[in-house]
Amino acid sequence: MMLTACTFQVKHRGYVFPPDLDTVVADIKTTKQLTREIGSPQVKTIYGDEVWIYYGADENYRGPLALKYDNKTVLLAWVKGNRVTDIRILHDDDLPDVIISEDETPIPAAVELNAIQELFNNIGRFSPAGLGQ
């Protein structure tokens, strides 16, 4: 008999949008309405058109399986002054899959140390616990 222990856990990341998001944002015309209904944006663009960006997703843990994100939602609101000129809602199918590279990007002028060099480099950097230094 074989027993395995797996966790099935879902954590929500970002905004928790209402289930009827399309109808909630349909009547939004001002930034005051937008912040009252959805909240403050996570990001505002600084170049080009001012766009307020809201993001929410479910982070799924399935034991030894790879971490998976689904139910992704992005709300984009184009803002001009105090007016909301356009709102777009993007879901899983509208968003591209981004594959993270396993390679490391070299840092220019970085100092590469081996384990012995790291050990000697750290001598004197840390104070003993409890001495309050």
**Contact (CB, 8 A) for 91 and 78:** no
Amino acid residing at 11: K
Q: Is the model's pLDDT at 17 over the cut of 70? A: yes
Q: What is the pLDDT of residue 92?
A: 81
The rounded distance, in Å, linking the Cα atoms of 26 and 42 is 20
Q: What is the pLDDT of residue 133?
A: 52
Q: What is the pLDDT of residue 14?
A: 85
Name the pTM for this structure.
0.62
| Least confident piece of the model among 13-17, 78-82, 83-87 | 13-17
**Contact (CB, 8 A) for 84 and 31:** yes
Interacting residues of 109 by C-beta distance below 8 A, sequence separation 6+:
none
